Amino acid sequence: MSRMHLRLSLPPRSDSPEKDILTRPAELERWVARLPMLNVGETTLLLSRQLTGLNRMGLEDKPRLRLLEVLRPPVQHVSRELAKGYDGLPPPLPDKARMVAAQVRQLAAEMAFGYKLIAVNSTATGLAQVDRAVLGTALHRAIRYLTELLFRSYELYSPAPEGTWLEIHQLYRYSELLGITDTPLEDPLNGTLKQVSIGKQVTVGNAITFMAQDRTTTDEAYAGDIIGIPNHGTIKLGDTFSEGEDLKFTGIPSFAPEIFRRARIRNPLKMK
pLDDT digits over 172-187, tens only? 999 988 888 888 888 8
Residue 255: the pLDDT is: 53
Residue 115 has pLDDT above 90, yes or no: yes
- Say what the alpha-carbon torsion angle 184, 199, 170, 57 is, to the nearest 10 degrees: -30
Give the span between the Cα atoms of 71 and 136, in whole angstroms. 18
For residue range 7-52, list pLDDT tens digits in order. Answer: 899 988 876 767 789 999 999 999 999 999 999 999 999 999 999 9
How far CA 65 is from CA of 25, 117, 155, 191, 234, in Å, comes to 10, 10, 29, 21, 28
Query: What is the bridge-based pairing of β-strands 214-217 and 227-228?
Result: unpaired
Lowest mean pLDDT among 44-48, 108-112, 157-161: 157-161
Return the pLDDT at 66.
96
Range scoring the smallest mean pLDDT among 11-25, 148-162, 198-212? 198-212
Question: Collapsing DSSP states into helix, strand and coil, what is residue 168?
Answer: helix
**Antiparallel, parallel or unpaired: β 185-186 and 195-196:** antiparallel
- Distance, in Å, from the CA atom of 75 to the CA atom of 114, rounded to the nearest integer, reads 13
58-94 per-position pLDDT tens digit: 899 999 999 999 999 999 999 999 988 888 788 788 8
Average pLDDT, the chain: 82
Q: Is the peptide bond before 74 cis (omega within 30 degrees of 0)?
A: no
